[in-house]
Structure 1
Amino acid sequence: MKNLSFLDKIFYLLNSLLATLLLLSYLLPFISPSTIPFFAVLSLFVPVLIIINLGFFIYWLIKLKKQAFLSAFVLIIGWCFSSPFYKISSKSSSLNTDLKVMSYNVKAFDLFTNKKDSTLNTGFDFIASKNPDVLVIQEYYQSTKIHLSYPYKFVKTKNKKGKFGMAIYSKYKIINSGSLDFKDTSNNIIYIDIVKKKDTIRVYNLHLESLRIKPNEENFGQENSEKLLIRVTNSFEKQAEQTNQFLAHEQQWKGKKIICGDFNNTGYSWVYDQITKNKKDAFIEAGKGFGKTFNYWFPMRIDFILTDENAIINQFKSFSEQYSDHFPIQAKINW
């Protein structure tokens, strides 16, 4: 510190604070939001903390200062023990027997009829071009404008008269379906059992409690920060309750399984850690890059495709087409 200029001393103090926050964030998977709800908020900022600490590391490295070791140390710990921020390599193998699964938060299809691409007229055309065997949809909305050609589907709206809910479309016969029917929320978890040759495969569709943060909307930032924090921490508490409900239900199924959905939380959270125990994350197994699934200025991965441990993930893709505030993700899965 003695050999640093006054400005560099300020930078290093800020560097120390943000490196400490990133280090603390590695404890997030072990602390339930129901215990310390406020701490769970940090999970949303882990990608930003990684980017900032990487910036500090490069800054000190260019200046040939030993202060570079602080951020380097914290980043290396994260690389070794936490969910990857960036995947360098991917798998691109494919078999004719693969089950192609797409998960997509469609935001009630409100942008699906707008032309966003010179080669694809609508979001429905995009889905058709990818031709998934199973299409898992969050924020579904019943409408005559929906153009999805599948022989089987399970749609669960929040109530009998409502049009908003969740859906799973399948090329394979659905022999069972159900819903966890969360109380006092518009979010939910539904599931189906499909038959593929001799296999019965359970497919879950998760949409955990929404934080109701819309950074791209005009009125974002006008809400009182204290009220926003209270609302977000309450949402994290609900996510913890919903996660426990899901785990209790999921443990009753011992066969092949796929878990898809919008967790409204990142890969650095307690929610993600609990749900992914004894499972494979398709992005980690076969993905590449940031795996960004939410349309924001930094790479947020809050949508996931998971499988049981016996599954083989041959391919994973996160698409960049903007027909929603989420990006669709797709995996090719085999056993």
Structure 2
Amino acid sequence: MREESLFSRLLFFVNKVLALLTFLAYILPFLAPKLFPFLSVLTLLLPMFLIFNFIFFIIWLLQLKRKALLSGFVLLIGITFISKLYRFSDTNLEVESEDFTLMSYNVRLFNKYEWLPNKKVPSDISDVIQNYNPDILCLQEYTPNEEVRLRNFRFKNVEVEGDKNKYGQAIFSKYEIINRGKIDFPDSNNNVIFADIVKFKDTIRVYSMHLQSVKISTDIHEKLNESKSKFIFKRISEAFKQQQMQSELIKEHYLGCAYPKIICGDMNNSAFSYVYRNIKGEMSDAFEESGLGFGKSYNFKYYPARIDYVFAEKTFEIKEFITNNQVKLSDHFPVITRLKIKEKKEDKK
């Protein structure tokens, strides 16, 4: 038998370390970040772990080596995580009169501080909204702007703070809003707002969330030294602990609501996190039901960051989901979903 090369042995050692980290990342969504704040950062890396495990699986498989079983087993165990990372085919069910569309978009203050060299961002965002023509529109990092045209919406819940520089969230609706409110987070500028909306004879509650930001630069070329890397790592850990508390406040609030519920917005965390699992609960993730591809919603170079979500209770049928990553008018991309309220059994009689 030919002796295995040093390179092959080193490669399989890396494969084993990767498998261990991947299994650890699988467990972390079930553990509160405040228990293991530094380890929780690994959930952000799980998409990369899955991709590299697939690469290792192919490498060993092409060489007809049993080593392929390790990454193959890792991928098999994490099959539910893979569906959160990538959708191979979308669902686009027939449009019916009972359907309604919801758009969620972190608009980054309509480029108020000119992060983008485009003076027309407010107007361009207005055009995007008008083109999709959603029935319900949820905007995070919203600020009043005269150039933003939202004339199709008769009803709204706008919650902004500040004197000169107003900042907050907004829900706009073509349907009547009969109740509105917000959930404030302690020691944070972020929050959740909600609106009870009457569609035909049904009342639904829509939450728009904006959780604590981890404040990671979108510039992959930014120079990182050791001290800065440790600072960023610590900052992410602290943000995750805050997000845990925020997610618990959201869940406590929506469990007290009897209406069918939709939760959307910028969660600032991955689909592999404790925070995602806690907020989603028994709801459906619209991307997992009807999305396509990676569902990347944050403009982070070379990494498929999906941090904007639409969760809907089983009362709703999710018929279509779109993430438009060609619209580069913010550091986020708009997400759009088409839904229908399922008929109740008594309605069919």
TM-score after normalising by structure 2: 0.89
CA RMSD after TM alignment: 2.2
Question: Which residue of structure 1 aligns with residue 310 of structure 2?
Answer: 305
Shift in Å at residue 147 of structure 1?
Answer: 2.0
User: What amino acid is the match of 1:29?
Assistant: P
1:41 aligns with 2:47: no
Q: Are 2:125 and 2:148, in contact at CA under 8 Å, matched by a contact in 1?
A: no
Corresponding residue of 2:134: 132
Whole-angstrom CA distance in 1 between matches of 2:221 and 2:86: 30
Rounded to whole Å, the distance in 2 between the matches of 1:209 and 1:2 is 55
Structure 2 residue 256 is the aligned partner of structure 1 residue 252: yes
Deviation readout 1:163-216 (Å, 9 max, x if unpaired): 111111111111111111222212111101111111111100011110011132
The aligned residue for residue 237 of structure 1 is 241
Distance 1:112 1:245 in 2: 38
The TM-score normalised by the length of structure 1 is: 0.93
Alignment of structure 1 residues 175-190 onto 2, 5 Å: 175-190=178-193
CA distance in 1, matches of 2:313, 2:4: 52
Contact 2:50 2:82 in 1 (8 A): no
Return the letter of the residue paired with 1:235: A
Asked whether the 8 Å contact 2:263–2:312 carries over to 1, the reply is yes
Q: 1:80 offset after TM fit, Å?
A: 4.2
Q: Is the 8 A contact 1:141 1:164 kept in 2?
A: yes
Say yes or no: does 1:269 pair with 2:273.
yes
Q: Does 1:88 align with 2:91?
A: no
Match in the other structure for 2:338: 332
The structural deviation recorded for 1:220 is: 6.1
Gaps of 5+ in 2: 342-349
Output the amino acid matched with 2:317. Answer: I
Deviates more, 1:210-219 or 1:282-291: 210-219
For residues 250 and 77 of structure 1, the distance between their equivalents in structure 2, rounded to whole angstroms, comes to: 32
Q: Indicate the residue corresponding to 1:101 in structure 2.
A: 102
Partner of 1:18: 18
Q: Which residue number in structure 2 is paired with residue 192 of structure 1?
A: 195
Alignment of 1:105-184 (within 5 A): 105-110=106-111, 111=116, 122-149=124-151, 150-159=153-162, 162-184=165-187
Supply the distance in 2 between the matched residues of 1:310 and 1:267 (Cα, whole angstroms).
22
Cα distance in 2, alignment partners of residues 238 and 2 from structure 1: 55
Structure 1: gaps (5+ residues):
none
Distance 1:231 1:69 in 2: 37
Preserved contact between residue 29 and residue 272 of structure 2 (Cα < 8 Å): yes
- Verify: 1:53 aligned to 2:59, yes or no: no
Segment of structure 1 superposing worse, 20-29 or 156-165 = 156-165
Distance 1:259 1:79, change over 3 A: same
Is 1:286 equivalent to 2:290 in the alignment?
yes
C-alpha separation in 1, matches of 2:3 and 2:161 = 63
How many angstroms apart in 1 are the aligned matches of 2:25 and 2:201?
44
Aligned residues: 332
Alpha-carbon distance in 2 for matches of 1:114, 1:318: 24
